Structure 1
Amino acid sequence: MQFLATFQSADFVDTVVSLVSAFVLGTLIGAERQYRQRTAGLRTNVLVAVGAAAFVDLAMHLSGPDGGVRVIAYVVSGIGFLGAGVIMKQGMDVRGLNTAATLWASAAVGSCAGADMVAQAVVLTVFIIAGNTLLRPLVNAINRIPLDEKASEATYYFKLAVTTEALPAMRDRLVEKLEAANYPVADVNVVETGDDLLEIVATLVATAVDPNELNAVVVDLQRQPGVRHATWEVSTTD
């Protein structure tokens, strides 16, 4: 049998150590994700780490370090497609980026284990878990800081709810008022909201704004006939 002729106990033990290391470290990363009820939890992170370790270990045994490097390059790109599957866009919010990044990092842990760099894989695991846990209070503290519209460059949306009859005139007036206030408009969309009302959504060119200037535009437009509501909002998700 070819298996008996090619079987090497030392190589087998080396493979077992790589896979066990990837399994244990992937479990540590995935347990934190599972605890927080993320899309990619315990099993996904374990499978990503073990799979990456298996591919790299196989390449190392067949072609040596050069083969391992080539496989690692494919692992990096392949995990990118897997991570894209957990990213969801809901309106202006994008969710799942951190989960996708964690999967990418789990693949890096598995690749280290498969390349017999177990110590490096352990250190990388510590950094991944620390990034997902120890940095959380800092992120929450930063998010509680009020946004300074005058200093923060972001994307702003000006929304105007109007009647069907007032749509053409108010769309032009909205653009004129914003540009007169030195806020150029990048795009204008019209959305049906029901009750015979249409919503004009003007996307401003990404910039910093003075809230008082946009509020002045709101006050002016709300006085126009056919306008039911005017407001503006900011998005910093980009």
Structure 2
Amino acid sequence: MNNPWVLDNWHLMMRLLLSVLLGGVIGFERERKNHAAGLRTHTLVSLGSCLIMILSIYGFSEFVGQPGVQRDPARLAAQAITGIGFLGAGTILFTGKAITGLTTAASLWVVMAIGLAVGAGFYVPAAATSLLTLFVLWGLNILEKRYVNNLKEHLFTVTLDGNMPVTERIEELLRQKEAKLLKIRLDELERDGDGAARIRLLMNVRLSREEQLLSVAEQIRKLEGVRSVAVE
């Protein structure tokens, strides 16, 4: 590779294959956890970014030295950085009070950067970034669950007397227990034989301490107007 603007076929294939390998490793981690963007998505993002970088640097070598021609190898790469935002936004979901997919969107952005780095020939930084990304996605996830937010989401199904205003008292009870109400839904059930209205309340709740589960369920059951409580 005496000419810095020319890439032979061997190095071209090596860079493309390396981008597939590094992107696929991160995608495999996302696939194992059943995220929207998994193995194939991350691999394709890395591969495509690598090809864009190669094209940006070496694809227009015949124009080097021509009058009035100015080379900017980073131009196509800059457009890739902007374009990945649309794909990342597609993995972010807003459901009720919960937002999911931010980590997967960030991993797609990092994989894009890894592909660009491989395409530019920065093999060591690309490989190091892949290892660090795996550490963040896998290692820090374990630390988060164990020490930071040892929280588990539970589904509370509460049957209420339709004539009793109970929901505000349930919300106040959850606040006292430092529980986070993620999602709530109210369904009107068929009336009983006595004609009394019944309402089913579905709540996705995240507790600050797992041992509070039975205590919270019992206290909700004791509220006036609550017919039954079920927890999953």
Instruction: Bin the TM-score by the shorter chain.
Output: 0.5 to 0.7
* Cα distance change of structure 1 residues 145 and 188 upon mapping to structure 2, 3 Å threshold: closer
* Deviation, structure 1 residue 31: 4.0
Looking at structure 2, the residues matched to 109 and 195 of structure 1 have their Cα atoms a distance apart, in angstroms, of 56
Indicate the residue corresponding to 2:227 in structure 1. 228
Shift of 1:92: 6.8
CA contact (8 A) 2:15 2:118 kept: yes
TM-score normalised by the chain length of structure 1: 0.57
Query: Which of residues 37, 42, 45 in structure 2 aligns to 1:45?
Result: 42
1:198 aligns with 2:199: yes
Code of the aligned partner of 1:198: I
Query: Structure 1 residue 13 and structure 2 residue 4: aligned?
Result: no
* Cα-Cα RMSD: 5.1
After superposition, the Cα gap between the structure-2 partners of 1:219 and 1:32, relative to the gap in structure 1 and judged at 3 Å, is: closer
- Give the Cα separation in 2 of the matches to 1:222 and 1:14: 76
Residues 200/220 of structure 1: CA separation in 2 closer, same or farther (3 Å cut): closer
2:24 counterpart of 1:30: yes
Shift of 1:49: 1.7
2:83 is paired with a residue whose SS is: helix
Contact kept in structure 1, 2:160 and 2:226, CA below 8 Å? yes
| Match for residue 89 of structure 2 among 84, 93, 114 | 84
Give the drift of 1:30. Answer: 0.7
Number of positions where the alignment pairs a residue of Structure 1 with one of Structure 2: 208
Tell me, in whole angstroms, the C-alpha distance in 1 between the residues paired with 2:203 and 2:162: 17
Map 1:1-150 → 2, pairs under 5 A: 11-13=5-7, 17=11, 20-31=14-25, 33-34=27-28, 36-37=31-32, 38=34, 39-61=36-58, 62=60, 64=71, 66-68=72-74, 70-87=75-92, 96-133=101-138, 135=139, 139-140=141-142, 142-144=144-146
The offset of 1:90, in angstroms, is 6.9
- The answer for the alignment partner of 1:161 in structure 2 is 159
Give the unaligned 5+ runs of structure 2: 61-69, 192-197
Report the 3-state secondary structure (helix = DSSP H, G, I; strand = E; otherwise coil) of the residue aligned with 2:142. helix
Q: Which has the higher helix share?
A: 1
TM-score by structure 2 length?
0.58
Aligned mates of 1:200, 1:42 — CA distance in 2: 38
Identity %: 23
CA distance in 1, matches of 2:17, 2:96: 37
